[in-house]
Structure 1
Amino acid sequence: MRQFNRQSRSGRIMLAVGLGALVLGASGCTRIRTHQGYQVDKLLVDSVQPGVDNRASVEGTLGRPSFVSQFGPQDWYYVSRDMRSLAFANPRPVSQTILHVRFDAAGNVVAVDRMGLEQVARISPAGSKTPTLGRHRSLFDEIFGNIGAVGAGGMGGGGSGPNGGGPNGS
Protein backbone atom coordinates (compact mmCIF):
# COMPACT_ATOMS: atom_id res chain seq x y z
CA MET A 1 0.00 0.00 0.00
CA ARG A 2 2.83 2.35 0.79
CA GLN A 3 4.39 1.75 -2.62
CA PHE A 4 1.11 2.67 -4.34
CA ASN A 5 1.06 6.01 -2.47
CA ARG A 6 4.58 6.87 -3.63
CA GLN A 7 3.72 6.07 -7.24
CA SER A 8 0.55 8.16 -7.21
CA ARG A 9 2.37 11.09 -5.60
CA SER A 10 5.19 10.96 -8.16
CA GLY A 11 2.56 10.63 -10.88
CA ARG A 12 0.84 13.78 -9.65
CA ILE A 13 4.17 15.62 -9.57
CA MET A 14 4.96 14.52 -13.13
CA LEU A 15 1.48 15.60 -14.24
CA ALA A 16 1.93 19.02 -12.61
CA VAL A 17 5.37 19.45 -14.25
CA GLY A 18 3.92 18.41 -17.62
CA LEU A 19 1.01 20.84 -17.33
CA GLY A 20 3.38 23.63 -16.28
CA ALA A 21 5.57 22.98 -19.33
CA LEU A 22 2.49 22.93 -21.57
CA VAL A 23 1.26 26.27 -20.20
CA LEU A 24 4.70 27.88 -20.63
CA GLY A 25 5.02 26.52 -24.16
CA ALA A 26 1.54 27.72 -25.17
CA SER A 27 2.13 31.18 -23.72
CA GLY A 28 4.82 31.78 -26.37
CA CYS A 29 2.13 31.67 -29.06
CA THR A 30 -0.21 34.26 -27.59
CA ARG A 31 -1.08 37.45 -29.38
CA ILE A 32 0.62 40.55 -28.07
CA ARG A 33 -1.31 43.80 -28.27
CA THR A 34 0.39 47.11 -27.63
CA HIS A 35 -0.62 50.75 -27.78
CA GLN A 36 1.79 53.48 -28.84
CA GLY A 37 1.35 57.21 -28.52
CA TYR A 38 -1.59 59.38 -27.59
CA GLN A 39 -4.68 57.94 -25.85
CA VAL A 40 -7.56 59.18 -28.01
CA ASP A 41 -10.68 60.23 -26.11
CA LYS A 42 -13.37 60.78 -28.75
CA LEU A 43 -15.37 63.13 -26.53
CA LEU A 44 -12.37 65.40 -25.91
CA VAL A 45 -11.31 65.36 -29.58
CA ASP A 46 -14.83 66.27 -30.68
CA SER A 47 -14.86 69.21 -28.25
CA VAL A 48 -12.06 71.01 -30.15
CA GLN A 49 -13.86 73.38 -32.53
CA PRO A 50 -12.38 75.49 -35.34
CA GLY A 51 -12.90 79.21 -34.78
CA VAL A 52 -13.61 78.68 -31.07
CA ASP A 53 -10.45 77.14 -29.57
CA ASN A 54 -6.87 78.37 -29.54
CA ARG A 55 -3.47 76.81 -28.72
CA ALA A 56 -3.91 77.16 -24.96
CA SER A 57 -7.39 75.61 -24.92
CA VAL A 58 -6.32 72.74 -27.19
CA GLU A 59 -3.33 72.01 -24.94
CA GLY A 60 -5.62 72.17 -21.91
CA THR A 61 -8.13 69.78 -23.51
CA LEU A 62 -5.91 67.30 -25.40
CA GLY A 63 -2.56 67.81 -23.70
CA ARG A 64 0.78 68.39 -25.37
CA PRO A 65 0.98 67.13 -28.98
CA SER A 66 3.01 64.10 -30.05
CA PHE A 67 4.96 66.43 -32.31
CA VAL A 68 4.77 69.92 -33.79
CA SER A 69 5.27 70.83 -37.44
CA GLN A 70 8.89 71.54 -38.33
CA PHE A 71 7.88 74.28 -40.74
CA GLY A 72 6.31 76.61 -38.22
CA PRO A 73 4.18 76.22 -35.10
CA GLN A 74 0.91 76.19 -37.09
CA ASP A 75 0.38 72.39 -37.05
CA TRP A 76 0.10 70.02 -34.08
CA TYR A 77 -0.09 66.23 -34.44
CA TYR A 78 -1.48 63.68 -31.97
CA VAL A 79 -0.49 60.16 -33.04
CA SER A 80 -2.07 56.97 -31.67
CA ARG A 81 -1.42 53.41 -32.91
CA ASP A 82 -2.52 49.95 -31.79
CA MET A 83 -0.20 47.10 -32.77
CA ARG A 84 -0.64 43.32 -32.73
CA SER A 85 1.82 40.47 -33.23
CA LEU A 86 2.42 36.87 -32.42
CA ALA A 87 5.29 35.99 -30.11
CA PHE A 88 8.25 36.37 -32.47
CA ALA A 89 6.59 37.90 -35.54
CA ASN A 90 6.96 41.51 -36.65
CA PRO A 91 4.22 43.70 -35.18
CA ARG A 92 1.65 45.13 -37.55
CA PRO A 93 -0.70 48.08 -37.04
CA VAL A 94 -4.32 47.20 -36.30
CA SER A 95 -5.63 50.73 -35.94
CA GLN A 96 -4.13 54.18 -36.15
CA THR A 97 -5.41 57.68 -35.53
CA ILE A 98 -3.52 60.82 -36.46
CA LEU A 99 -5.19 63.97 -35.23
CA HIS A 100 -3.91 67.01 -37.14
CA VAL A 101 -4.80 70.36 -35.53
CA ARG A 102 -4.06 73.40 -37.70
CA PHE A 103 -3.72 76.92 -36.31
CA ASP A 104 -3.67 80.33 -37.99
CA ALA A 105 -1.03 83.01 -37.33
CA ALA A 106 -3.00 84.31 -34.31
CA GLY A 107 -3.03 80.83 -32.71
CA ASN A 108 -6.70 80.01 -33.32
CA VAL A 109 -7.81 76.57 -34.53
CA VAL A 110 -8.48 76.56 -38.28
CA ALA A 111 -9.19 72.84 -38.79
CA VAL A 112 -9.04 69.47 -37.09
CA ASP A 113 -8.33 66.54 -39.43
CA ARG A 114 -8.33 62.82 -38.63
CA MET A 115 -6.42 60.20 -40.58
CA GLY A 116 -6.27 56.46 -40.08
CA LEU A 117 -4.56 53.34 -41.40
CA GLU A 118 -5.10 54.44 -45.01
CA GLN A 119 -2.07 56.72 -44.54
CA VAL A 120 0.30 53.88 -43.57
CA ALA A 121 2.73 53.08 -46.40
CA ARG A 122 3.20 49.40 -47.07
CA ILE A 123 6.76 48.73 -48.20
CA SER A 124 7.76 45.31 -49.45
CA PRO A 125 11.48 44.86 -50.12
CA ALA A 126 12.47 43.30 -53.44
CA GLY A 127 14.59 40.33 -52.38
CA SER A 128 17.94 40.75 -50.70
CA LYS A 129 19.22 43.51 -53.02
CA THR A 130 18.28 47.16 -53.20
CA PRO A 131 17.92 48.36 -56.80
CA THR A 132 20.03 51.43 -57.58
CA LEU A 133 20.48 53.71 -60.55
CA GLY A 134 23.79 53.95 -62.42
CA ARG A 135 26.28 51.55 -63.95
CA HIS A 136 26.12 47.87 -63.15
CA ARG A 137 29.72 46.87 -62.52
CA SER A 138 30.96 43.37 -61.91
CA LEU A 139 33.40 42.41 -59.17
CA PHE A 140 36.31 42.47 -61.63
CA ASP A 141 35.26 45.93 -62.88
CA GLU A 142 35.34 47.18 -59.29
CA ILE A 143 38.77 45.67 -58.60
CA PHE A 144 40.56 46.33 -61.89
CA GLY A 145 38.56 49.33 -63.17
CA ASN A 146 41.18 51.91 -62.17
CA ILE A 147 44.04 50.31 -64.13
CA GLY A 148 45.16 52.77 -66.79
CA ALA A 149 43.25 55.67 -65.25
CA VAL A 150 46.17 56.70 -62.98
CA GLY A 151 48.52 59.19 -64.65
CA ALA A 152 46.18 59.95 -67.54
CA GLY A 153 46.71 63.25 -69.36
CA GLY A 154 46.38 66.30 -67.11
CA MET A 155 46.33 64.19 -63.97
CA GLY A 156 49.68 65.41 -62.56
CA GLY A 157 52.05 62.86 -64.12
CA GLY A 158 55.68 63.66 -65.07
CA GLY A 159 56.78 65.45 -68.24
CA SER A 160 54.63 68.53 -67.89
CA GLY A 161 57.29 71.17 -67.18
CA PRO A 162 59.34 73.12 -69.75
CA ASN A 163 61.96 71.12 -71.65
CA GLY A 164 60.01 67.96 -70.86
CA GLY A 165 61.31 67.85 -67.31
CA GLY A 166 59.53 67.83 -64.01
CA PRO A 167 57.58 70.72 -62.49
CA ASN A 168 60.77 72.68 -61.73
CA GLY A 169 61.90 72.59 -65.34
CA SER A 170 64.89 70.35 -64.67
Structure 2
Amino acid sequence: MQQPAGVVKLALAVALALGLSACSPIYRNHGYAPTESELSEIVVGIDSRDAVAELVGPPATSGMMRDDAWYYVASRWRTVAYRAPELIERQVVAVSFDDDGTVANIERYAMEDGRVIALNRRVTDDNVAGISFIRQLLGNIGNFDAGQFLGE
Protein backbone atom coordinates (compact mmCIF):
# COMPACT_ATOMS: atom_id res chain seq x y z
CA MET A 1 0.00 0.00 0.00
CA GLN A 2 1.41 3.36 -1.03
CA GLN A 3 1.33 6.46 1.13
CA PRO A 4 -0.52 9.45 -0.28
CA ALA A 5 1.88 12.04 -1.73
CA GLY A 6 0.64 14.71 0.71
CA VAL A 7 1.61 12.65 3.78
CA VAL A 8 5.10 11.99 2.43
CA LYS A 9 5.61 15.68 1.64
CA LEU A 10 4.38 16.65 5.11
CA ALA A 11 6.75 14.14 6.75
CA LEU A 12 9.68 15.50 4.71
CA ALA A 13 8.76 19.08 5.60
CA VAL A 14 8.58 18.22 9.31
CA ALA A 15 11.93 16.39 9.15
CA LEU A 16 13.51 19.33 7.34
CA ALA A 17 12.12 21.83 9.87
CA LEU A 18 13.41 19.75 12.80
CA GLY A 19 16.80 19.40 11.18
CA LEU A 20 17.13 23.13 10.57
CA SER A 21 15.92 24.06 14.04
CA ALA A 22 18.58 21.82 15.59
CA CYS A 23 21.24 23.94 13.88
CA SER A 24 19.94 27.31 15.03
CA PRO A 25 22.27 29.01 17.52
CA ILE A 26 21.43 29.36 21.19
CA TYR A 27 22.66 32.51 22.92
CA ARG A 28 23.37 32.77 26.67
CA ASN A 29 24.26 35.87 28.66
CA HIS A 30 26.29 35.67 31.87
CA GLY A 31 27.16 38.39 34.34
CA TYR A 32 26.46 42.11 34.36
CA ALA A 33 28.34 45.19 33.20
CA PRO A 34 26.84 48.66 33.72
CA THR A 35 25.86 50.64 30.63
CA GLU A 36 27.52 53.91 29.66
CA SER A 37 24.48 55.85 30.87
CA GLU A 38 24.70 54.16 34.28
CA LEU A 39 28.44 54.85 34.48
CA SER A 40 27.91 58.51 33.56
CA GLU A 41 26.10 58.98 36.89
CA ILE A 42 29.31 58.12 38.79
CA VAL A 43 31.51 61.15 39.45
CA VAL A 44 35.24 60.35 39.52
CA GLY A 45 36.95 61.89 42.53
CA ILE A 46 33.67 62.45 44.39
CA ASP A 47 31.65 59.23 44.68
CA SER A 48 32.53 56.49 47.18
CA ARG A 49 32.13 52.70 47.12
CA ASP A 50 28.71 53.08 48.73
CA ALA A 51 27.61 55.52 46.02
CA VAL A 52 28.79 53.15 43.28
CA ALA A 53 26.94 50.27 44.93
CA GLU A 54 23.79 52.41 45.06
CA LEU A 55 24.05 53.64 41.45
CA VAL A 56 25.09 50.46 39.59
CA GLY A 57 25.19 47.82 42.32
CA PRO A 58 28.14 45.84 43.62
CA PRO A 59 29.77 43.19 41.41
CA ALA A 60 27.75 39.98 41.24
CA THR A 61 30.34 37.87 43.04
CA SER A 62 32.53 38.71 45.99
CA GLY A 63 35.62 37.56 44.08
CA MET A 64 35.23 40.60 41.83
CA MET A 65 35.58 43.03 44.75
CA ARG A 66 38.95 44.18 46.06
CA ASP A 67 39.94 47.15 48.15
CA ASP A 68 41.35 49.01 45.17
CA ALA A 69 38.89 48.02 42.39
CA TRP A 70 35.55 46.44 41.51
CA TYR A 71 35.16 44.44 38.31
CA TYR A 72 31.88 43.93 36.47
CA VAL A 73 32.04 41.18 33.83
CA ALA A 74 29.38 40.39 31.22
CA SER A 75 29.79 37.61 28.64
CA ARG A 76 27.70 36.41 25.69
CA TRP A 77 28.07 32.79 24.50
CA ARG A 78 26.78 31.10 21.34
CA THR A 79 26.14 27.36 21.04
CA VAL A 80 25.32 25.73 17.70
CA ALA A 81 24.10 22.12 17.68
CA TYR A 82 26.66 19.75 19.21
CA ARG A 83 29.59 22.19 19.13
CA ALA A 84 31.21 23.60 22.25
CA PRO A 85 29.95 27.01 23.39
CA GLU A 86 31.84 29.91 21.82
CA LEU A 87 32.49 33.22 23.57
CA ILE A 88 31.36 35.95 21.18
CA GLU A 89 31.40 39.04 23.41
CA ARG A 90 32.86 40.05 26.77
CA GLN A 91 32.71 43.40 28.53
CA VAL A 92 34.75 44.20 31.65
CA VAL A 93 34.13 47.42 33.56
CA ALA A 94 36.81 48.27 36.13
CA VAL A 95 35.99 50.88 38.77
CA SER A 96 39.19 51.82 40.65
CA PHE A 97 39.21 53.36 44.12
CA ASP A 98 41.91 55.37 45.85
CA ASP A 99 43.06 54.80 49.45
CA ASP A 100 40.12 56.84 50.79
CA GLY A 101 37.56 54.70 48.95
CA THR A 102 36.77 57.40 46.38
CA VAL A 103 36.37 56.52 42.70
CA ALA A 104 39.72 57.12 40.98
CA ASN A 105 39.01 55.74 37.49
CA ILE A 106 36.41 53.95 35.39
CA GLU A 107 37.51 51.84 32.42
CA ARG A 108 35.67 49.55 30.01
CA TYR A 109 37.42 46.73 28.18
CA ALA A 110 36.04 44.55 25.42
CA MET A 111 37.23 41.16 24.23
CA GLU A 112 38.81 42.86 21.21
CA ASP A 113 41.08 44.95 23.46
CA GLY A 114 43.01 41.83 24.43
CA ARG A 115 43.75 43.17 27.91
CA VAL A 116 44.39 40.67 30.68
CA ILE A 117 43.09 41.85 34.03
CA ALA A 118 44.35 40.21 37.20
CA LEU A 119 41.21 39.72 39.26
CA ASN A 120 43.16 38.24 42.13
CA ARG A 121 46.75 39.07 43.00
CA ARG A 122 47.17 36.82 46.01
CA VAL A 123 50.05 34.41 45.74
CA THR A 124 50.32 31.41 48.00
CA ASP A 125 53.89 30.42 48.67
CA ASP A 126 53.95 26.91 50.06
CA ASN A 127 56.87 24.79 51.03
CA VAL A 128 55.78 21.66 49.17
CA ALA A 129 56.23 22.94 45.65
CA GLY A 130 57.62 20.26 43.39
CA ILE A 131 57.11 17.45 45.92
CA SER A 132 54.63 14.78 44.91
CA PHE A 133 51.97 13.43 47.24
CA ILE A 134 53.62 9.99 47.40
CA ARG A 135 56.99 11.53 48.24
CA GLN A 136 55.38 13.52 51.05
CA LEU A 137 53.83 10.31 52.45
CA LEU A 138 57.00 8.27 52.16
CA GLY A 139 59.12 11.12 53.47
CA ASN A 140 57.40 10.89 56.85
CA ILE A 141 58.47 7.28 57.41
CA GLY A 142 61.10 7.30 60.12
CA ASN A 143 60.11 10.74 61.42
CA PHE A 144 58.21 9.22 64.33
CA ASP A 145 58.74 6.45 66.85
CA ALA A 146 56.31 3.96 68.39
CA GLY A 147 56.59 5.68 71.77
CA GLN A 148 54.62 8.64 70.38
CA PHE A 149 51.65 6.35 69.68
CA LEU A 150 51.87 4.37 72.91
CA GLY A 151 51.99 7.49 75.08
CA GLU A 152 55.42 6.74 76.52
- The interval holding the TM-score normalised by the smaller chain is 0.5 to 0.7
Matched with 2:6 is 12
Q: Distance in 1 between matches of 2:64 and 2:76?
A: 25
Matched with 1:97 is 91
1:22 aligns with 2:28: no
Select 2:109's aligned residue among 110, 115, 118.
115
Q: Distance in 1 between matches of 2:91 and 2:20?
A: 32
RMSD: 3.0
| Conservation of the 8 A alpha-carbon contact between 2:33 and 2:92 | no
Select 1:38's aligned residue among 32, 36, 39.
32
Residue deviations 1:75-117 (CA, integer Å, cap 9, x gap)? 2110011122321212222221111111123221111122221
What is the TM-score with the length of structure 1 in the denominator?
0.57
Q: CA deviation at 1:59?
A: 0.9
Amino acid aligned to 2:115 = Q
- Structure 2 counterparts to residues 1-170 of structure 1, below 5 A: 10-68=4-62, 72-117=66-111, 118-119=114-115
Q: Which runs of 5+ in 2 are unaligned?
A: 117-141, 143-152
Q: Which runs of 5+ in 1 are unaligned?
A: 1-6, 121-155, 157-170
Q: Distance in 2 between matches of 1:19 and 1:51?
A: 63
Aligned residues: 117
Q: CA deviation at 1:70?
A: 7.5
SS of the aligned residue for 2:40 comes to helix
What is the TM-score with the length of structure 2 in the denominator?
0.63
Identity %, equivalent residues: 27
